[in-house]
Amino acid sequence: MAPRSPLIPICLTLLGLASFSLMDGVMKAASIAAGAYAALFWRNVFGIGLMAPIWLTVRRRQGGPLWPRPEVLRLHLARSSLSGVMGGLFFWGTVYTPLAEAMALSFIAPLIALLLAAALLGERIDGRAIAGSVLALAGVVVIAAGKFGGHYAPSAVHGMVAILISAVLYAANLVIQRKQAQLAGPDEIAFFQNLFIALLFAPAAWWWAPLPHSQLALLIATGTVLAVASLMLIGWAYARAEAQVLVPLEYTAFIWAALVGWLMFGEAVTLRTLGGVGLIVAGCLLAISTHSLPGDNGQPNPA
C-alpha cells in the first residue's frame, strides 16, 4: 500500500542519508586503522549476521519462497558487485582525503544518475529536477573551490581519483537501486548486499582482512548497523518514489559529512562551506518542489 503522505519517502531518504554519512565517518576511522579492504569485508560479514535473522523472520511471516527469483537474484548480484567496488574505492580514498572533500567529489553521481534514470528506467526528467541538481552542484563547487588549492601529495591525488571513479559507479548503483526496490523488500536487499559483497571480498580476506581486535570490531559493528539502517530506509523509499525525486536529496549528505568530519577528524567548517550548503539545500528544495510522490510506476513493494 502506498504511503498516505508524499513526504514519507523524502523524510526516510534524508534519514537514511544521515545514517550513511555517519557510517562513512566510522568506516574512515576503521579504514585508517585496518585498511579499507579489511574494514569493508568485516562490515559485510557482520551485516550478514545482523540481517540473516531479520530476513528469515520476514520470509516466514510472508510465507513466500525463501530464495529470490533468478532475475531478482541477478539484480542483487549486480548491485552488490557495483557497491563492493564502489565502497572499496571510496573508503580507500577517504584515508587520504578529508571526508567533506570526498563527499563533494562524489556529487557528480546524482547528475549522472538523473540521465541514467531517463535512459534506463524511462523516467521523464523534469526541468526543475535538472535545475535543482545544477544549483546543488554549484554549492559543491563553492565549497570545493576553497579546499582544492595548493599542492597535493601523490597519495591525495590517487585518493581523489578513486573517489571520482567510485562516484561514477554510484550513479549506476542509484538507478539499479530504484529497480531493485520495486522487486524486493528492504530486508532482502540489505541481506543479499551484505552476503554478496562479503563473498566478493572473501578470496583475499586471508591476507588483507585479518580478524579485527575488540575495539576495531566494535567500530566496524557500529558501521554495520548504520549501513544496514541506511540500506533499509532508502530501499523502502525508492520503492515508493521515482529516482528523479529522491536522487537530488543525495546532496544533503554533504551537510552530514561536513558535521561528521568536524566532530570525528577535526575538519573545519568555514563560511564558504556554509554558503555552499545553502545552495545544496536550495537545489534540493527546487528539484522536489513540483513532484508528487506516487506509489506509482510499478506496484509498491508489499514489504
In a domain, 151, yes or no: yes
Q: Does 29 map to a domain?
A: yes
Q: Which of 33-37, 119-123, 157-161 has the lowest mean pLDDT?
A: 119-123
**CA dist., res. 89 & res. 163, Å (int):** 6
* pLDDT computed for residue 121 by the predictor: 64
Decide if pLDDT at 38 tops 90: yes
- pLDDT value, residue 108: 75
For the entire predicted model, the pTM comes to: 0.80
φ, ψ of residue 25 in degrees (nearest 5): -65, -45
- CA-based angle 17:95:77, to the nearest 5? 55
Q: CB neighbours of 253 closer than 8 A, spacing ≥ 6? A: 17, 18, 20, 21, 103
Query: Is 86 part of a structural domain of the chain?
Result: yes
Task: Give the mean pLDDT of 223-244.
Answer: 84
Instruction: Tell me how many domains the chain contains.
Output: 1
Give me the chain's average pLDDT, please.
82
Residue range 257-281, pLDDT digits in tens: 988 999 999 987 778 778 888 888 7
Q: Which of 41, 66, 2, 17 is nearest to 199 (CA)?
A: 41
Which of 46-60, 115-129, 203-217 has the lowest average pLDDT? 115-129
Specify the pLDDT at position 295: 36
Percent pLDDT > 70 in the chain is 86
222 domain-assigned = yes
* Structural domain boundaries enclosing 126: 13-288
Q: Is residue 298 domain-resident? A: no
Whether 250 maps to a domain, the answer reads yes
Per-residue pLDDT reduced to its tens digit, 292-303: 433 333 322 323
Decide if 176 is inside a domain. yes
Provide the pLDDT for residue 299.
28
Measured in degrees and rounded to the nearest 5, phi and psi for residue 298 equal 100, 160
Kindly state whether residue 297 falls inside one of the protein's structural domains: no
